Amino acid sequence: MRFYFPDSQDLVSPGYNFQHDEYPPSRVRQRDDLYAHEILDAPPYSGLLVSKSIVDGAMKGSGKYTGAQRARLYRLGIRGFFRLPDSIESLGDNGAFNYADELVPPVTVEETLDFYEGCGFDAGVSVDHIIFGYDPLASLEKVDPAWAERRRITLRLAEEFITRVTDQGLKLKPVGAAQGWSPASYADSVRQLQAMGYRRIALGGMVPLKTKDILECLQAIDLVRSPTTELHLLGITRVESMDAFSEYGVTSFDSTSAFRQAFMDDRNNFHTEHESFIALRVPQVDGNPTLKRAILAGRVSQKEAIAQERVCLRALREFDGSDQAIQRALTELGAYESICQVKKSYLGEYKRTLDAAPWSDCKCSLCRKLGIEIAIFRGTERNKRRGFHNMSVLASKMKKLKSNTLVSTTRSNNG
């Protein structure tokens, strides 16, 4: 089972000063920064998924790349730009969610292949159109016409895609995109894609589905799937179900979930193998909109806020795990919560984090180097590093999957 991380230009600066929250004055974004596979002891993913819409922009707005970064990507190629080791595969797609509201995809097969070939991707997903909805009882004939049309568009573009790849003799490995609204429609999409010549198929539109629904779709697909056809789940993590998924031909998936939970989730910010913890929120005074408004309105003294921010950080940095240190940290966190006028207190969850001190038991390079800093919810440099840590935990969990253990055992037995 292989995990692909979707790129959104998530990097960290190795020279960042955590004591003063400052970047090196000579730092150039991206060029001088590090990706997760560069800063961790071992890459936390088997592949990198890069969307055309992230690089070039889409209907919903501009991409995540500056003009200079985009030019460097095309000049250096995917492997040079991301500084990828040979063990990491590059997979391209269009980022269909970004144009999901359009009646038809605003990108052509030719434009997509130009992007894949221009950047030197190892593999690329055909152009698809997301179906918004799931009805296991809807037949291929009696269904919302808009759903049926999106599936027809996806299959038509997939046929054009693989035909162009074959006719032009491209090295790119074609991955067919399958859309559907039921087990039967997904199975029929896979059947047609296989007939076109695809031996690797990406299943899209399954993110909202329950695990039970995904398994029912995979079971239906398995009835028509060739033994040599590999399936990829777009946007799905669910590590606890991956062994079950693998029984039906799933060999890879992509997701930003573990990474984004570090700073988007209300509580599950710091992952371990068996549980998750809340990060300790110490927002920067000049980076907290609510606090800035309160200061401008005269309800909060900026001097007091900055003073308590520093006291809070000092208490955490001097934390030694003792009961006295836990109480001191909670007192200062509580005082800063009051100044920040938070809508709800997290002190109960903070105590659980401080009691466990999960960073002290973690063997990843980031936790070893940063200690408690990685558990502080504050600014992009800490938050993204915590996201990278979470991905290292995901990688560790994946190594213990039955499907991966069986593969490792087979390789060992074969010499």
Q: What tens digit of pLDDT does each residue of 66-97 get? A: 899 999 999 999 999 999 999 999 999 999 98
In a domain, 306, yes or no: yes
Reply yes or no on whether the pLDDT at 57 is more than 90: no
In a domain, 94, yes or no: yes
Cβ pair 384, 262 in contact under 8 A: yes
CA distance 234 to 260: 16
CA-wise closest residue to 281 among 351, 344, 337, 352: 337
Q: Provide the token pair at 52.
A: 């055309």
Fill in the amino acid letter for 357.
A
What is the DSSP-derived secondary structure letter of residue 94?
Answer: -
Residue 119 shares a structural domain with residue 204: yes
Cβ pair 223, 229 in contact under 8 A: no
Rounded-to-5 percentages of helix, strand, coil across the chain: 50, 15, 40
In a domain, 367, yes or no: no
**Mean per-residue pLDDT for 344-365?**
98
> What pLDDT sits at residue 289?
85
Residue 138 shares a structural domain with residue 250: yes
Do strands 276-277 and 270-271 pair parallel, antiparallel, or not at all (unpaired)?
Answer: antiparallel
CA distance 30 to 69: 8
In a domain, 185, yes or no: yes
| Tens-digit pLDDT profile for residues 316-339 | 999 999 999 999 999 999 999 999
**What's the residue count for the chain?**
415
> What pLDDT sits at residue 288?
81
Show which of 203, 237, 254 is a domain's final residue. 254
Q: What is the DSSP string of 258-301?
A: HHHHHHHSSS--EE-SS-EE--EE---GGG-HHHHHHHHTTSS-
- Domains identified in the chain, total number: 2
Q: Which residues contact 342 (CB under 8 A, 6 or more apart)?
A: none
In Å, what is the CA distance from 39 to each residue of 163, 203, 306? 40, 31, 31
Residue 129 shares a structural domain with residue 206: yes
Cβ pair 180, 205 in contact under 8 A: yes
In a domain, 40, yes or no: no
CA distance 135 to 143: 9
**C-alpha R_g of the chain:** 24
Residue 101 shares a structural domain with residue 148: yes
| Tens-digit pLDDT profile for residues 216-275 | 999 999 999 999 999 999 999 899 999 999 999 999 999 999 999 999 999 999 999 999
CA distance 169 to 167: 6
Which residues are part of the catalytic machinery?
A: 93, 254
CA distance 239 to 390: 13
| Tens-digit pLDDT profile for residues 104-163 | 999 999 999 999 999 999 999 999 999 989 999 999 999 999 999 999 999 999 999 999
Residue 107 shares a structural domain with residue 242: yes
CA-wise closest residue to 164 among 130, 127, 201, 121: 127
> What pLDDT sits at residue 64?
85
Residue 350 shares a structural domain with residue 292: yes
Residue 250 shares a structural domain with residue 192: yes
Q: Which residues contact 256 (CB under 8 A, 6 or more apart)?
A: 5, 6, 8
> What pLDDT sits at residue 60?
59
CATH of the domain at 167: 3.20.20.105
Cβ pair 190, 225 in contact under 8 A: yes
Is residue 249 classed as helix, strand or coil in its secondary structure?
Answer: coil
Show which of 305, 333, 357 is a domain's final residue. 357
Is residue 207 classed as helix, strand or coil in its secondary structure?
Answer: coil
The mean of the pLDDT values for the chain is 95
In a domain, 31, yes or no: no
C-alpha 165: how far from chain center: 28
In a domain, 110, yes or no: yes
Full-prediction pTM beyond 0.85?
Answer: yes
**Mean per-residue pLDDT for 204-223?**
98
**Mean per-residue pLDDT for 95-106?**
92
Residue 195 shares a structural domain with residue 327: no
CA-wise closest residue to 147 among 135, 156, 157, 159: 135
Range of the domain at 321: 280-357
Residue 247 shares a structural domain with residue 308: no
CA-wise closest residue to 357 among 286, 284, 279: 279
Q: At what angle do helices 379-399 and 257-264 cross, to 10 degrees?
A: 140
**Mean per-residue pLDDT for 295-323?**
96
Q: Which residues contact 320 (CB under 8 A, 6 or more apart)?
A: none
Residue 62 shares a structural domain with residue 211: yes
Residue 234 shares a structural domain with residue 314: no
Residue 287 shares a structural domain with residue 228: no
In a domain, 307, yes or no: yes
Cβ pair 239, 394 in contact under 8 A: yes
CA distance 363 to 385: 14
Residue 407: band (very low, low, confident or very high) from pLDDT cuts 50, 70, 90:
very low
Reply yes or no on whether the pLDDT at 285 is more than 60: yes
